[in-house]
Structure 1
């Protein structure tokens, strides 16, 4: 039997074992002239490392797609004028490196409109995806609308609620920029109560917890909801107007 037929037979067997990527990488390395003098085990180990990295990158891309970030390419490395904006990069980098399952701290990104808080929230979420965590990004009004479509007894409601309660990192943007009704508050309360002390929630808003207490329709329930949500770390941005800056410079990111 020729070497080619042996290779193709082995490749077919690897595909049956769902190791197609490894097979492709391995045989590509084996045919590389630079690997001519390499030992078989060296080629094998290099193929394992490359195939694992390819899988990791695919998983990251899939996690970012599923999260539905407003800015799917956001990164802390590309923040514009962080010092002028009052951004504590050291704090952000520490947060980006958080082990969210062992340290499920909530985060509140507080800043006026147009200062880039959504971009920062997305950058933290993308860093979590790159570290292997599952992430979901919603504007609060979109989340409330998505749940209101279903009756609480509907299986689709239960499935979505289960996902929101168990996603590793939940990002709620434009928090209470648009008011929510009693049903919306009840749904939000179920999510936050279930995640409390177990999984982190990142909130981006232009208002403080004091405003949330006033804005929520059920004042009695608002106290316990806000007290749970307003724990953890706060990122205070200055009033540097990123929208105005970008309008002048035509820079593509916020």
Structure 2
């Protein structure tokens, strides 16, 4: 057993997990038959896993997922005729290191948000900082931030720095010229500098008009679509489907 002073020092250097595993070993005689190296390996493995789990939980909490319990293994591939191989490849998160975008298209209730959140959680499991936000909420944040000194710059910097950004309800509302300029700056700064998942009810052919139909629309679309993976969320209303399970 370790004494009180050693416990205090371990807590001071944030190694509470080490106290837990040593206490556990002290109570079980089976550990007495193990060598020092074997016991130390078990201690280190336990501490590593505990700290990893806490970091993942923290990343998931800070990501603010709309569906925090979403899980890639619970996506109904067969029923929705989804491209399972493509989605599992995306869930490996190599698209993030490659700074590629994902566009998830589908009607209301088809499971776009669930799919995006499940991919985002896989990113968190790999230690990747992720942020989920609805586009209307982002634009509201921007509207409030821009009246503050350097507010626009801070808002852009904040959302540029996430390795993975999930923008849900993309283009669901009409955009003002000011909002279009903000979105252009955001996608421009994130271009080749991060990955973004766009969830939308609108087909890509409809985006140009919803982005104002001008030069900014061209520029925004070019930076989003170039090299992006396009996913259809399927033809089933997942809300009704889940209720009838």
Tell me the TM-score normalized by structure 1: 0.89
1:94 aligns with 2:94: no
Give how far 1:33 is off. Answer: 2.5
2:145 to 144, 150, 155: 150
Give the match for residue 245 of structure 1: 241
2:164 to 165, 169, 172: 169
Number of equivalenced pairs: 244
Tell me the distance in 2 between the aligned counterparts of 1:132 and 1:100: 15
Q: Secondary structure at the match of 2:216?
A: helix
Q: What's the CA shift string for 1:157-176, capped at 9, x where partnerless?
A: 43332221010100011111
Give the match for residue 119 of structure 2: 124
Give the match for residue 210 of structure 2: 215
Give how far 1:152 is off. Answer: 6.4
Give the match for residue 227 of structure 1: 222
1:30 to 3, 26, 29: 26
Distance 1:78 1:210, change over 3 A: same
Give the match for residue 71 of structure 1: 67
Tell me if the contact between 1:152 and 1:158 (Cα under 8 Å) persists in the aligned partners: no
Tell me if the contact between 1:144 and 1:180 (Cα under 8 Å) persists in the aligned partners: no
1:182 aligns with 2:177: yes
5+ residue gaps, structure 2? none
Distance 1:41 1:27, change over 3 A: farther
1:16 aligns with 2:12: yes
Q: Secondary structure at the match of 1:149?
A: helix
Q: CA RMSD in A?
A: 1.9
Distance 1:142 1:234, change over 3 A: same
Tell me if the contact between 1:30 and 1:43 (Cα under 8 Å) persists in the aligned partners: no
Tell me the distance in 1 between the aligned counterparts of 2:136 and 2:13: 45
Q: Secondary structure at the match of 1:83?
A: helix
Q: Secondary structure at the match of 1:94?
A: helix
Tell me the distance in 2 between the aligned counterparts of 1:156 and 1:54: 38
Tell me the distance in 2 between the aligned counterparts of 1:226 and 1:75: 29
Q: Secondary structure at the match of 1:93?
A: helix
Give the match for residue 111 of structure 1: 106
Tell me the TM-score normalized by structure 2: 0.92
